Amino acid sequence: MAPLSGGRAFAALAFTFAVTMMGTTLPTPMYVIYQGEFGFSITMSTVIFATYAFGVLAALLAFGRWSDTLGRRPLLLGGLAVAIISDVVFLLAGNTETLLVGRVLSGLSAGIFVGTATAAVVEAAPATWRPRAALIATAANIGGLGLGPLVAGVLVDWLPWHLHLAFIVHIMLSLVAVALVWGVAETVDVVPGSRPGFQRLLVPAKVRTTFIGAGIAAFAGFAVMGLFVAVSPRFVANALTNPSPALEGLVVFTVFGASVVAQVVLKGVSTTHAVNAGCALLVAGMGILAWGLQAESVPLIVLAAVAAGAGQGISFSKGLASVLAKVDPHQRAGVTSAFFVVAYIAISVPVIGEGLAAQKWGLTSAGTSFSAAVAVLAALALITLVIDQRREARAG
């Protein structure tokens, strides 16, 4: 049988990317149920979530360049294998420690996939799709992350085996993805005898001011993503008498969905204007979230998710683009890795702080303070970027 190529390979790899990232957010609407069964605190709930990000960082640094020397397919198959093992761990989970192990494995699978699958999707794109290939890869990545809580929430709400069925479904989808990747032609030329190495982080001096501004924006945006994935189900539970896991999953899906839509709709807007608008939307979204938490209003929380998700999508994608536009081609991999490290630190460390604050002062007060801090960060990013833009305009 001939290997898949062209449009079929492109679709197969995009599907695989989305399925794998979907698995990393599946537990989101289940954390409240796990807490009731295992008796852990809200702080531990955020630690369980954040453990995923540490797994991503470890995989990015350890395996980020491996697919360049070993090929895309072996890394994709390895990532899928780790994702399936993570699902099995969650299926067998009987205590908090097991959840931590499952989240680390989930993070490792995502870390292997983020760079490898993005490259594979772009490389497999037919000529007619090549200008949009990077955007399709991003949509598969972020869209998959958003689908996880939504699918799991619906399955938890409406079908039996509420802590197991979502992982069974994901294992089945992952096995389909394994078959597809197995049948896809390799998208990169592997040099015989080449050896994999660790990913080197790099921020050249000439791009540091831009990197700082865009990095602060990325930090703020991913901190928001972490907050919504880890804690927003509790925001919804506080606002409703009988919260629905499907509704909790929908709120998280809204953040990621808004991120994808904003990137697609505003892809033609100049990088400068788009990244500034993204920072402003983050500030607005955090203001609306603080209002929604104080009012215990689900509609306001959803509106905050739309604004913040759109702001995150624009500020991250355009911010990274603004940085990469100023570096030499051979520096891009190292700079991109450094940017992702900033992002994944943001998705983990601040959320743990939110959990500790919620344990001491209550979820509403902690969430409001978190919103204010992220709004300040986004405003600082906007100021830094505007100063950099004006300096370049004077120099030009």
Q: Are residues 116 and 239 in the same domain?
A: no
Element (H, E) at 336: helix 332-346
Residue predicted with more confidence, 334 or 219: 219
* CB half-sphere exposure, 110, CA atoms < 13 A: 28
Asked whether residue 2 carries a pLDDT value surpassing 60, the answer given is no
The mean of the pLDDT values for the chain is: 84
Percent of the chain with pLDDT over 90: 24
* Structural domain boundaries enclosing 361: 200-396
Q: What is the pLDDT of residues 275-311, one digit of tens each?
A: 788 888 999 999 998 998 888 888 898 999 999 999 9
215 lies in the same domain as 130 = no
- Any idea of the CA torsion for 216, 59, 95, 92, to the nearest 10 degrees? 130
Flag whether pLDDT at 80 surpasses 60: yes
CATH of the domain at 15: 1.20.1250.20
Calculate mean pLDDT across residues 314-319.
82
Among the three residues 148, 164, 186, which one is the final residue of a domain in this structure? 186
Least Cα distance to 276 among 326, 341, 322 occurs for: 322
pLDDT at 387: 81
Quick one: average pLDDT of 39-64? 83
Residue 49 within any structural domain of the chain:
yes
Please say whether the beta carbons of 264 and 135 come within 8 A: yes
Distance, in Å, from the CA atom of 277 to the CA atom of 268, rounded to the nearest integer, reads 14
Residue-level pLDDT at 12? 92
Distance CA 28, CA 12 (A): 26
Total count of residues recorded for the chain = 396
DSSP 264-276: HHTTTS-HHHHHH
Longest CA pairwise span in the chain (Å): 64
Q: Is residue 368 part of a domain?
A: yes
* 121 in a structural domain: yes
Average pLDDT over residues 46-69: 82
CB 174 within 8 A of CB 20: yes
Q: Per-residue DSSP letters for 354-371?
A: HHHHHHHH-HHHHHHHHH
User: In angstroms, rounded to a whole number, what is the distance separating the alpha carbons of residues 338 and 61?
Assistant: 9
The two tokens of residue 155 are 């399955």
DSSP H helix total and E strand total for the chain: 15, 0
Alpha carbon distance 147, 290 (integer Å): 25
Does a structural domain hold residue 372?
yes
The whole-angstrom separation of Cα 324 and Cα 335 is 7
In a 10 Å sphere around its CB, with 0-12 CB exposed, 13-18 middle and 19+ buried, how is residue 131 labelled?
exposed
Q: How far apart are CA 7 and CA 4, in angstroms?
A: 9
Do 3 and 184 form a contact (C-beta atoms < 8 A)? yes
Query: So what's the pLDDT on residue 247?
Result: 82
**Residue 70 shares a structural domain with residue 168:** yes
Closest CA to 22 of 129, 122, 113, 125: 113
3-state secondary structure at position 121: helix
Whether residue 322 is found in the same domain as residue 384? yes
Residue 95's φ and ψ, nearest 5 degrees, are -160, 175
The answer to whether residue 192 is domain-embedded is: no
Report the candidate in 349, 224, 358 with the shortest Cα–Cα distance to residue 284: 224
23 compared with 190, residue with greater pLDDT: 23
Give the best-scoring range by mean pLDDT among 6-10, 96-100, 373-377.
Answer: 96-100
Q: Note whether 114 and 260 are same-domain residues.
A: no
- Compute how many other C-beta atoms are within 10 angstroms of the C-beta atom of residue 202: 16
Decide if 151 is inside a domain.
yes
The per-residue pLDDT for range 168-218, each reduced to its tens digit, is: 999 999 999 999 999 898 877 776 656 766 667 778 888 888 888 888 888
pLDDT average, residue stretch 151-156: 91
- Residue among 377, 372, 275, 373 at smallest CA distance from 318: 275
How many domains does the chain contain in total? 2
pLDDT of residue 157: 86
Assigned domain for 142 exists? yes
